[in-house]
Amino acid sequence: MSKSVIQDWVESRVLLQDSEMCHVRYRVFRAGERHYQEVADLDGNTVHTLELPEGTRLDRASYEVLLRYVMTDAAA
């Protein structure tokens, strides 16, 4: 299965509950016909990989929104 990067690593700070900040990085890639968002800590350890819903593919503004949902859910 071929893998290609759509958006290379981007660092972001995510506000979690109780005003806690989480500093992570994410990238978007395609593997075959599917698109994924991979979230990692700053040391490169994968935190979560999310298969992107059809409507958010290649919509770069949606990647940051999805990151916030994923990190808020992971912290809960």
pLDDT band at 10 (very low <50, low <70, confident <90, very high): very high
pLDDT score recorded for residue 70:
79
Domain ranges across the chain: 3-75
Q: What digits encode the pLDDT tens for the residues 53-76?
A: 877 666 677 788 888 887 877 665
Indicate the helix (H) or strand (E) that contains 68. helix 60-75
pTM: 0.79
User: If we measure between CA atoms, which residue out of 75, 59, 63, 61 comes closest to residue 22?
Assistant: 75
**Higher model confidence: residue 3 or residue 40?**
40
pLDDT score recorded for residue 74:
67
